[in-house]
Amino acid sequence: MILFNPQDHHQPAILNSSSLQHIAEGTSISEMWQKDLRPLLRERYPGSPGSYAARQHIMRRIQRLQADWVLEVDTFLSQTPYGYRSFSNIIGTLNPTAKRHLVLACHYDSKYFPRWNNRVFVGATDSAVPCAMMLELARALDKQLLSMKHIMRRIQRLQADWVLEVDTFLSQTPYGYRSFSNIIGTLNPTAKRHLVLACHYDSKYFPRWNNRVFVGATDSAVPCAMMLELARALDKQLLSMKNISDSKPDLSLQLIFFDGEEAFLHWSPQDSLYGSRHLAAKMASTPHPPGARGTNQLHGMVSLGCSHGTAAAGSASTDKATEAK
């Protein structure tokens, strides 16, 4: 599995063993075998009935997920040693409008052996297993991806034309490296200052919480819902505000949904505030306005303080940025 950095010439960053172990912990070998791998174990060379069946199976599995993937089938004809053949790539995208995409890829066709010891070659390890692993990974991450997609979709449907950014990164935790994703919605990125409302959307990790799933309703689903509802209720006013700020870019609004606020084990400077610490350091090194010297994105933040809840996380990011600087 490879992560690509956002630059013109990409250098792959390989996930270490602890990161791979974390990903594997959420998957189920038995479910992968029954629902993903077993249906793929058939002859699947391009143009064969098995290829069509495999393609339909992959698409059905993705369509059944809650995270609302957008599917595209890229079908074309190409010359081969056996004449023209039809090929179909399958592309599933979680959010097509995002600026960047973390891409995981495999191939679902099997090698063409017209006479392979009078047996059918199903290409199990190459490539049915990688396909099954990707489908199982999407299933295991479905709820987490759904939370991210829900927040982004709610903001994208507003009229005020928010600019969305997803700040994804890896950080060391007591359970090894984990992936985090902050969601930032900005009404007018070119404004000199931003009034920042922030919350965190992750829930506390309880591996065994009275044999129940801990959903973190008051901390932190409610603050997220309050911010989304506030943006919806003020949508028309914010649209007018954006039109004004486009001509006189002074003060605008920014919504930040932090990931990784909760500690995995015990609250400490290292095991807590993963998302806000990372974003604060990133903002501290980003000039604002673009090209400015001596001022960065943190200087443009106007945060509202409160005892607990939405804006408290924004204040925390400012504090952590001071430390980062």
Which helix (H) or strand (E) covers residue 253, if one does? strand 251-258
Cα–Cα dist 158/238, whole Å: 10
Round to whole Å and give the CA distance between 224 and 95.
Answer: 20
Per residue in 110-159, pLDDT tens?
Answer: 999 877 677 888 999 988 999 999 999 898 888 778 888 889 889 988 98
DSSP code of 304?
A: P
What pLDDT is attached to residue 307? 40
Is-above-0.75 flag for pTM?
Answer: no
Would you list the domain boundaries of the chain?
A: 2-140, 143-324
CA–CA distance, 292 with 60 (Å, rounded to integer): 50
Gyration radius from the chain CA atoms:
23
Which two structure tokens, joined as six digits, stand for 33? 């075998």
Domains 2-140 and 143-324 share a fold: yes
Per-residue pLDDT band at 303 (split at 50, 70, 90): low
Q: Which CATH number fits domain 2-140: 3.40.630.10, 1.10.287.3510, 3.30.70.3460, 3.40.50.620?
A: 3.40.630.10
What is the band of 31 on the pLDDT scale with cuts at 50, 70, 90?
confident
Q: What is the pLDDT of residue 135?
A: 94
Q: Does 192 have pLDDT greater than 90?
A: no
Q: Is 130 helix (H, G, I), strand (E, B) or coil?
A: helix
Token pair in block for residue 129: 């297993």
Q: Which letter, b or e, does each residue of 197-220 get, where b requires 16 or more Cβ atoms within 10 Å of its Cβ?
A: bbbbbbbebeeeeeeeeeebeebb
Report the amino acid identity of residue 322.
T
Q: Give the containing element (helix H, strand E) for 38.
A: helix 38-40
Give CATH for domain 143-324: 3.40.630.10
